[in-house]
């Protein structure tokens, strides 16, 4: 349903009372998918309720099918109506959701109305008090950010598909089907381009519910950063010999484990080189269009990167499709970001929020949604529980312990981590499989003195490694802001030279330590933030500008990553 929709801001919150869900009049248009903010300067700083409307035609031939409306990301809160009938509601802007639609006109036009509310709240994921007062350092966009589409299925259909693979060719598929009668399931393994069928098998008399399929294939090429070999697992559902549904899932055969201070992919130790990223682009807002993603992945590859974290929310399907395709190792993170929590709440209020079982249930719900959406991706090798929590507080550390166990319960095949900025004071580092640390010594502290900042960071790292000698450590954030075109000799803060020198010295110092198994620069590209005294519209820690033009640090980092690759392989 990509295209132009009717749009209406509801500043006075009259839409519900006036029943706009049945249809409304407006001369404003908006493009979907994309955030509303930068599509019109008058909407840029708006937070609150806005309404979307689109009329669409459904052909008569689809009558008798089950109809579903699917959103890949919208919000923060979304309510949906079709033809004036309430369909469903969802909280959270970064995970997919969908609902069955009961009352549609086949062979005629239908109307969908969507109510989006992106009002900030301390109980949101992530929390905020206002557009410019938040616990997170990225802009709080509103709207239907990601694709929306209608899906039609038979009354017998595949409801879900969970796939586990190993680099030795082993496959386990949990196939959930819905049908009132026993069905046959045809399971096929096909090449990436679907030109050839490698293996196929039909299982008969499968009852509604879960069927577990296991198979070990010979001659399979594993998926890895160097060779991201992909296949298609095809599940077809037949009733009385007639095809009722089919699901095509792109998969890779790979293994992941953490052992003795290293991360192994396919039983080989890997070093994660890359970035923290954001989904942020001029006019599109929280939607990264396809051409931008293509450019990003070629730029990262050219620099020698092989990894990124989905800071600080799960990224779009297109984004992670590119990770599968290009062989990037992804740390998948839910929208649990608490970097600036002390700016919006005191310690007592923070403990109260994290102790609230209803709030934790909401966090678990978004974690479950994220895992369900991306569980079959070979690129996703690790889960980050959250970003920069107040984990020097015992109560918060216990929440991290609980959520890490919840990740392991839902998906035991991947290790867990969380991105900490509490250094030696952190009380939760022992509750996850991999330690991830964010350091800005030489920027937010020891400012103007990179050498002193590096020295302080390395001292903290030695102490953390002493306490947790068997855990691998990733530096998930380090960097300095640079304004494009601002130069200084000697390097001074905010200049391109200072950023380049900061990154070079960090990489040189950190790469000497065997217990460091990954370096993620913050950030790949400049991105929009709330308005604050310490930001100039954008967070300028990107090595590229917001429109993907390089700063001096790109050449420096490319050289450092390539040297690191040679050293690591030795």
388 is catalytic: yes
Asked whether the beta carbons of 267 and 215 are under 8 A apart, the reply is no
DSSP code of 550? Answer: B
477 in catalytic set = yes
**Which residue in this structure is represented by tokens 């519910």?**
209
The closest of 151, 213, 148 to 177, measured between CA atoms, is 213
Q: Is 249 helix (H, G, I), strand (E, B) or coil?
A: strand
Six-digit token string for 445: 């502290």
CA dihedral 95, 99, 105, 109 (to 10 degrees): -20
In angstroms, rounded to a whole number, what is the distance separating the alpha carbons of residues 477 and 475? 6
Are 80 and 112 in contact by the 8 Å Cβ rule? The answer is: yes
Rounded to a whole number of angstroms, the distance between the first and last alpha carbons of the chain is 51
Residue in 388, 496, 497, 501 annotated catalytic: 388
Rounded to whole angstroms, the Cα distance separating 349 from 372 reads 32
Distance CA 96, CA 355 (A): 27
CA angle, corner 148, sides to 144 and 154, nearest 5? 155
Contact yes or no for 471/433 (Cβ under 8 A): yes
- The answer to whether 232 and 529 have CB atoms below 8 angstroms apart is no
Distance of CA 250 to the CA centre of its chain: 18
Tokens 């790109």 locate to 554
Q: Decide: 544 and 550 in contact? Cβ < 8 Å.
A: yes
For residue 223, list its beta bridge partners.
228
Q: Which distant-in-sequence residues (6+ apart) come within 8 Å of 343 by Cβ?
A: 133, 134, 135
Helix axes 317-326, 290-303, angle to 10 degrees: 30
Cα–Cα distance between 477 and 312 in angstroms, integer?
Answer: 12
Alpha-carbon distance values, 538 to 46, 139, 520, 525, 541 (Å): 18, 9, 20, 10, 9
**Alpha helices for 115-188 (secondary structure H):** none
DSSP string, 327-356: T-EEEE--S-B-TTHHHH--HHHHHHHHT-
Structural tokens at position 100: 């069955």
Picking from 66, 61, 60, 63, the residue whose alpha carbon sits closest to that of residue 158 is 66
Q: Which residues are catalytic?
A: 388, 477
């Amino acid at each position: 349903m990509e295209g132009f929709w009717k749009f209406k801001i509801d500043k006075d919150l009259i839409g519900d009372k006036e029943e706009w869900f049945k249809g409304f009049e407006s001369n404003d248009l908006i493009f979907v998918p994309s955030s509303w903010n930068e599509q019109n300067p008058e909407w840029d700083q708006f937070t609150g309720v806005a309404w979307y409307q689109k009329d669409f035609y459904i052909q008569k031939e689809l009558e008798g099918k089950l109809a579903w409306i699917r959103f890949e990301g919208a919000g923060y809160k979304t309510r949906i109506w079709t033809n004036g009938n309430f369909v469903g509601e969802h909280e959270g802007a970064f995970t997919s959701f969908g609902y069955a639609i009961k009352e549609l006109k086949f062979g005629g036009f239908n109307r969908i109305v969507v109510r989006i509310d992106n009002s900030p709240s301390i109980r949101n994921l992530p929390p905020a008090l206002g557009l410019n007062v938040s616990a997170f350092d990225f802009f709080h966009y509103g709207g239907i950010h990601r694709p929306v589409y209608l899906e039609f299925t038979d009354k017998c259909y595949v409801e879900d598909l969970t796939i586990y693979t190993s680099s030795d060719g082993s496959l386990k598929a949990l196939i959930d089907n819905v049908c009132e009668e026993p069905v046959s399931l045809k399971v096929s393994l096909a090449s990436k381009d679907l030109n050839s069928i490698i293996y196929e098998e039909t299982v008969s008399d499968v009852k509604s519910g879960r069927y577990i399929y296991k198979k070990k294939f010979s001659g399979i090429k594993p998926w890895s950063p160097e060779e991201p070999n992909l296949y298609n697992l095809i599940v077809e559902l037949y009733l009385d010999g007639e095809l009722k549904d089919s699901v095509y899932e792109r998969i890779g055969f790979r293994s992941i484990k953490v052992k003795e201070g290293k991360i192994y992919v396919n039983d080989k130790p890997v070093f994660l080189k890359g970035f923290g990223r954001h989904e942020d682009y001029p006019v599109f807002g929280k939607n990264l269009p396809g051409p931008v993603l293509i450019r990003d992945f070629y730029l990262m590859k050219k620099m020698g990167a092989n990894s990124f974290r989905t800071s600080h929310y799960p990224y779009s399907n297109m984004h992670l499709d590119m990770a599968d395709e290009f062989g990037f190792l992804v740390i998948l993170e839910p929208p649990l970001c608490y970097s600036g929590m002390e700016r919006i709440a005191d310690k007592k209020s923070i403990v109260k929020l994290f102790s609230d079982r209803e709030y934790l249930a909401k966090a678990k719900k978004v974690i479950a949604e994220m895992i369900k959406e991306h569980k079959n991706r070979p690129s996703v090798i690790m889960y980050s529980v959250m970003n920069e929590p107040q984990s020097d507080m015992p109560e918060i550390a216990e929440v991290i312990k609980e959520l890490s166990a919840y990740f392991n319960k839902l998906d035991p095949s991947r290790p867990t981590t969380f991105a900490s900025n509490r250094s030696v004071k952190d009380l939760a580092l022992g509750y996850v499989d991999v330690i991830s640390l964010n350091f800005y010594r030489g920027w937010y502290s020891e400012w103007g003195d990179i050498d002193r900042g590096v020295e302080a960071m390395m001292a903290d790292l030695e102490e953390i490694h002493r306490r947790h000698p068997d855990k691998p450590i990733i530096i998930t954030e380090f960097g300095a802001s640079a304004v494009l075109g601002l130069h200084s000799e000697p390097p001074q803060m905010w200049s391109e030279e200072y950023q380049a020198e900061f990154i070079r010295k960090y990489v040189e110092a950190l790469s000497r330590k065997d217990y460091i198994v990954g370096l993620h620069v913050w950030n790949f590209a400049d991105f929009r933030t709330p308005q604050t005294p310490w930001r100039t519209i954008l967070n300028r820690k990107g090595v590229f500008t917001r429109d993907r033009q390089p700063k001096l640090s790109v050449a420096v980092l490319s050289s450092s990553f390539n040297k690191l690759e040679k050293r690591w392989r030795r």
